[in-house]
Amino acid sequence: MIKGIIFDKDGTIIDTEPLHLRMWVEELKNQGYPATDDILFECIGLNYPSMNVLLKGYFGDGFEIGPFIPVVNEKVRIYELENGIPLKKGFIELSDYLREKNIRSAVATSSMHDEAVFCLTHLDII
């Protein structure tokens, strides 16, 4: 008997990975780094320290991810406020079914806590 479900936020509940990828590529290019979708695709699911190591491999030891994080996150948040956050098809129905069957659910994510809370609150599914 299933007693609980753990959802990954990005790619399962909401579909923001393409948006994050686009904003990272855009900002890195704006700062002179030869970023591509393929490079940033490798970063999906990584935390920032792991992403930093990966990107240093592409952009050199002098690369530091720190200054990019707040800039990219702000660009993503502005886009989401202006255009909405894309909810994955079928999630609401699945969530309703789980609640109906008294099956608990939780969300796991490699996203920053405040970003996750913002998205889930904005979609009224927290």
Which pairing describes strands 104-108 and 4-8: parallel, antiparallel, or unpaired? parallel
* pLDDT for res 90: 92
- What are the tens digits of pLDDT across the range 9-18? 888 898 888 8
**What residues contact 100, with CB distance under 8 A and at least 6 apart?**
none
Q: What are the tens digits of pLDDT across the range 43-93?
A: 988 889 999 999 999 999 999 999 999 999 999 989 999 999 889 999 999
What's the pLDDT at 75? 94
Start-to-end CA distance of the chain, whole Å, equals: 25
Q: What average pLDDT is seen over the chain? A: 91
Question: According to the model, what pLDDT value does residue 126 have?
Answer: 82
- Looking at 29-33, 59-63, 93-97, 117-121, which range is the least confident one? 117-121
Q: What is the pLDDT of residue 115?
A: 83
**Chain centroid offset of residue 34 CA:** 22
